[in-house]
Structure 1
Amino acid sequence: MRGLKLTLSALALLASSVSAHAFDTRAKAAYVMDYNTGTVLMAKDADQPLPPASMSKLMTLYMAFEAIENGILDLDQKLPVSAAAQQYGGSTLFLKAGERVRVEDLIRGIIVLSGNDACVVIAEALAGTESKFARQMTMRAQQLGMTNSTFTNSNGWPKAGHRMSMRDLGLIASKLIKDYPQYYPMFAQKEFLFDPSESANRLNRNPLLGLGIGADGLKTGHTQEAGYGLVGSAKQGQRRVIFVLSGLDTAQARANEAEAVTNWAFRQFSQTELGAKGTKIADADVSIGAEDSVGLELAEDISLLLPVNPIAPLKTEVVYNGPVKAPITKGDQIGELIITPGGLPEQRVPLVADRSIARHGFVGRVVAAAQHLAKRINDGPAPEAS
């Protein structure tokens, strides 16, 4: 593998160089991701399985949306409320055993009012019992790549073994946004009055909605064991940020931290155009070819999420297996540009040949071999180490 330092004249905008000022969160665990690029902006104990409280309702909602799209449930379908659903305390819709409730009302009740009982109604409709549904949740989470999630109920009620990591919560948030955009606007709903006799129980607990920072979801959570947490998402312009916070001491601390981390993610990072497709970056040596070298050019436009106020140089390197053997066809990928922003994961951009190079004929190969041998003779043996 050959490595070359990038000449800034070839890609001048990379000279801006970067490293972001870190956000020192008070949350016990946290995860912040740029949705469009998948760039992880912050991870604090992000892979540790922790009690997720009501934030785990996002998994129940994902499976409910999946069932609707597969024709298993219908938004206007009415589902029966069981005694098991009614017995749940905490945040509820005050459902009564024996009544029947529309699926859409149950879903809005879960999103806006964090209804524990509504989750059970959905769970029983899809799996027969809540415990069976919890096992299905765990299996589906594994299929979606959520490797640090185990569910024992549908709603996050405190129970041994009910765990999710912050990264997994970020993943299910991004899946909800990507896979079910037709339902995602429900997460921005500020009020939902399900039962007029319980008019005080109508406000969304997400403290960011309506603050003018682009927040449009997703779910709060709180238990004594888990502390106060929030899975949030906000969009400003073309950028969207997803963040997960857990283990804060009070609801106010959660609100303050969520707003602060949202502002940090948007203000400290911006999407930056670094180079256009076809820009030549470097040259690669060529063997047994009609030419001695071939240009390496960008196979695609480079647009990266970079810190706004850089405090460290951006590292760049061109790598390829060389010398590259001819024949070479224009557009063949023969290398990569590795870009490492300070404090962020490296990005790899394919580099392709800027032109076609034919292979030497027999005479040309003989001449090249002779030249190579002459060079070795003229250079002489390498000096011995002293």
Structure 2
Amino acid sequence: MLKDMESGAILFSRGADKRFAPASMAKVMTAYVVLDLLKTRELRRDTTFTVSDAVWRKWNSSTGGSTMFLSPGEKLSVDDLLKGLITVSANDAAAVLAEGIDGSEEAFVRRMNKVAADIGMASSHFGTPNGWPDGGVTKVSAADLITLADRLIRDHPDGYARYFSIPKLQHGVAPDGRPIVQPNRNPILDRVDGADGLKTGHTREAGYCFLGSAERDGRRLIMVVAGLPSANARREEAQRLMDWGFAAAAHRMAAETRRGSASTSVAAGATHR
């Protein structure tokens, strides 16, 4: 699905209401919830949470999932956790945020589902704060993800600008003592003009997915691709769809301008006669 935020026009849609597993795109819902709490001052960016032993055991790098390499007992700010959540898709950051805010992942997920319903994500349900496979509990639709991205960018423009286009994250220390530096997972940053968010996803069930956005000359597009067979296919499809969308939007705007000019000319001619 591809949407022009300025006009609200849906430029492309195929299977947009079909429900599927979002993988780590679910973290955008987690980010939206946290940004809401920051906006209402129920949280501050410098609020700190401690990595519990339970969260570390469940979400450390041995699981094979994405991580910001947190350590048990480590204290981190909400600001740093959001950076890890978005930039490197950190499962451990999502869990620390959930537990720190609501006491448990389960309680935070209930909050996620309430907020999702409130903003109109009628086809979506979340079972985890990070999108880890959960036996089919977590399901979304492309249309709902577009709604989520639209609301996040409109409701939290400062948070969007702060967290969603960080090029890399340095956190943690490798066994050889060197700092761990991970690049942003977004496949169209530096590949598509104006690209500045949002989030990739990948599991065996979901395939390779991406919820993305870019802005050019004051026009912002939001897109979803899902179920692709490889990271390369995801990147190429996302880039192709976004570039096509901007070309289509520019063509439509030019056509509207021509129609407007023609109408003005006709009106002027009628007045002259």
1:145 corresponds in structure 2 to 120
Candidates 60, 67, 75, aligned match of 2:37: 67
1:262 corresponds in structure 2 to 242
Candidates 239, 256, 272, aligned match of 2:219: 239
Residues of 2 paired with 1:84 and 1:230: CA distance? 30
The answer to whether the aligner puts 1:36 opposite 2:6 as a matched pair is yes
Q: Pick the structure with more helix per residue.
A: 2
How far did residue 169 of structure 1 move? 0.8
Q: Report if aligned partners of 1:113, 1:201 keep a CA contact under 8 Å in 2.
A: no
Q: Greater CA deviation, 82-91 or 266-275?
A: 266-275
The answer to whether the aligner puts 1:96 opposite 2:66 as a matched pair is no
Residues of 1 paired with 2:53 and 2:236: CA distance? 38
Structural RMSD (CA): 2.0
Residues of 1 paired with 2:156 and 2:192: CA distance? 24
Which amino acid in 1 is paired with 2:85?
I
2:152 corresponds in structure 1 to 176
* Matched residue SS, 1:59: helix
Residues of 1 paired with 2:81 and 2:23: CA distance? 19
How far did residue 56 of structure 1 move? 0.7
Which amino acid in 2 is paired with 1:111?
I
Count, aligned residues: 251
Q: Report if aligned partners of 2:91, 2:130 keep a CA contact under 8 Å in 1.
A: yes
2:132 corresponds in structure 1 to 157
Residues of 2 paired with 1:94 and 1:57: CA distance? 17
> After superposition, what is the alpha-carbon deviation per residue over 1:71-91, rounded to whole angstroms, capped at 9, x for unaligned?
121111110112332121300
Residues of 2 paired with 1:126 and 1:77: CA distance? 10
2:21 corresponds in structure 1 to 51
The answer to whether the aligner puts 1:223 opposite 2:203 as a matched pair is yes
Q: Report if aligned partners of 1:222, 1:228 keep a CA contact under 8 Å in 2.
A: yes
Residues of 2 paired with 1:62 and 1:269: CA distance? 28
> Gaps (5+ residues) in structure 1?
1-30, 282-386
* Matched residue SS, 2:70: coil
Q: Normalization by structure 2: what TM-score?
A: 0.87
Residues of 2 paired with 1:75 and 1:228: CA distance? 31
In structure 2, do the counterparts of structure 1 residues 199 and 227 end up closer, same or farther at CA, with 3 Å as the change threshold? farther
2:270 corresponds in structure 1 to none
Q: Report if aligned partners of 2:5, 2:221 keep a CA contact under 8 Å in 1.
A: yes
Candidates 210, 217, 231, aligned match of 2:190: 210
How far did residue 102 of structure 1 move? 1.0
Residues of 1 paired with 2:183 and 2:149: CA distance? 21
Residues of 2 paired with 1:201 and 1:248: CA distance? 27
How far did residue 124 of structure 1 move? 1.3
How far did residue 199 of structure 1 move? 4.3
Residues of 2 paired with 1:221 and 1:178: CA distance? 22
Q: Report if aligned partners of 2:202, 2:209 keep a CA contact under 8 Å in 1.
A: yes
Residues of 2 paired with 1:170 and 1:75: CA distance? 26
2:94 corresponds in structure 1 to 119
Q: Greater CA deviation, 106-115 or 178-187?
A: 178-187
Residues of 1 paired with 2:210 and 2:95: CA distance? 21
Which amino acid in 2 is paired with 1:205?
R
Bigger CA radius of gyration: 1
> Gaps (5+ residues) in structure 2?
267-273
* Matched residue SS, 2:168: coil
Residues of 1 paired with 2:225 and 2:47: CA distance? 35
Q: Report if aligned partners of 1:32, 1:43 keep a CA contact under 8 Å in 2.
A: yes
Residues of 1 paired with 2:132 and 2:185: CA distance? 17
* Matched residue SS, 1:194: strand
Residues of 1 paired with 2:192 and 2:233: CA distance? 19
> After superposition, what is the alpha-carbon deviation per residue over 1:200-257, rounded to whole angstroms, capped at 9, x for unaligned?
5410011111125211111000000000000000111121110001000000000100
Q: Report if aligned partners of 1:105, 1:194 keep a CA contact under 8 Å in 2.
A: no
Aligned sequence identity (%): 39
* Matched residue SS, 1:221: strand
Which amino acid in 2 is paired with 1:155?
N
Residues of 1 paired with 2:233 and 2:192: CA distance? 19
Residues of 1 paired with 2:71 and 2:192: CA distance? 38
Q: Normalization by structure 1: what TM-score?
A: 0.62
Residues of 2 paired with 1:184 and 1:136: CA distance? 21
Residues of 2 paired with 1:233 and 1:212: CA distance? 10
